[in-house]
Amino acid sequence: MTAAEAEEVAGIESRCFAAPWSLSSLLESLANPMGVYYTARADGALAGYAGMYHIVDVGFINNVAVDAPFRRIGVGSALVAALVRYAGQNGLRALTLEARASNKAAIALYEGFGFRQAGIRKNYYTLPAEDALLLTMEL
């Protein structure tokens, strides 16, 4: 992901999440030396993005978002695969993330890569209030 794409990414954020990251938050995360961000394009349009923080030997995935017109065509899988590939190439021992307990599609995507539930974060999300499943994949 480049800074030039951040405004488009912010648009995807606002369409995908009840509490989206702001443009300034995205730019700060992108500038963070621990940040690892990828975008995906389909038919020339920005279709989605994924990001994580690489801290010591663990990747903390903070967002995976695919714009509605591009769902169910492999964009999310390609983005998660890019993060997994980065993790393998950079000696990470695990990847971890939170997902809304009701987001069955995202949970199925992550489980397909080998993520397993490691815990529950009660009332982690707002708008609406909901638990998060803590998912982890050992590498």
Residues belonging to the active site: 98, 110
For β-strands 35-42 and 116-125, DSSP reports them as unpaired
- Sorted by sequence, the CB contacts under 8 Å of residue 94 that are 6+ apart come out as 57, 58, 59, 136, 137, 138, 139
Show the tokens assigned to 127: 């708008």
Whether cis (ω within 30° of 0) applies to the bond prior to 20 is no
- Locate all alpha helices (DSSP H) within 1-139, ordered by sequence: 6-16, 23-31, 75-89, 104-112
